[in-house]
Amino acid sequence: MDKLTISIFGNQIFLEIMNEIKLFSKFRLKYYDNIDLCTKDAVNHDQLVIFFITEENKQYYTKIENNIFPLIVVANTSIPKHISSSDIVEQLNMPFSVLSLEKKIVSVLARYKFKKNSLINLCGYIIDKNERKIRKN
């Protein structure tokens, strides 16, 4: 089985720290400085994204607003409701412990896998077994 890739956007130093302490050796870590490429890869390859919100990249809120991939948002301040309202989004405020990050990763991945396994695509319809609903497109 392939290792899961964790995509990191907004903080390259965090990637270097994670590679140094080798805590997440069961995951592949990858840094992106392009949000479009990051979200595209996350959707296409079922990647978890750790998104660091800073003053410089606040404008990228809209790019992750309707995410269909697991996401952990890390910020100095509280995160807008429209981002953290999804059930596959976790929020961390800085400073945080590495163990709390690991718990968030496990939690969001479990919810994402559960949600993904409950959806069936059939001739342009999406059947959600958990919610017992059928949607078109």
Among 33, 35, 27, 25, which residue's Cα sits nearest to residue 6?
27
Mean pLDDT across 49-73: 79
Cα separation, 21 vs 12, in Å, equals 15
Q: Is the pLDDT at 24 greater than 70, yes or no?
A: no
Mean pLDDT across 1-13: 79
Cα separation, 47 vs 137, in Å, equals 23
Q: Is the pLDDT at 79 greater than 70, yes or no?
A: no
Mean pLDDT across 73-96: 72
Which phi and psi angles does 127 have, rounded to 5°?
Answer: -100, 120
pLDDT at 124: 81
Q: How many percent of the chain have pLDDT more than 90?
A: 1
Q: 14 with 53: CB under 8 angstroms?
A: no
pLDDT at 22: 73
Structure-model confidence comparison of residues 54 and 137, the more confident one: 54
Cβ atoms within 10 Å, residue 4: 16
Q: How many percent of the chain have pLDDT more than 70?
A: 85
pLDDT band of residue 83 (cuts 50, 70, 90) is low
Predicted TM-score (pTM) above 0.85: no
Mean pLDDT across 88-116: 85
Structure-model confidence comparison of residues 81 and 17, the more confident one: 17
Q: 111 with 88: CB under 8 angstroms?
A: yes
pLDDT at 1: 38
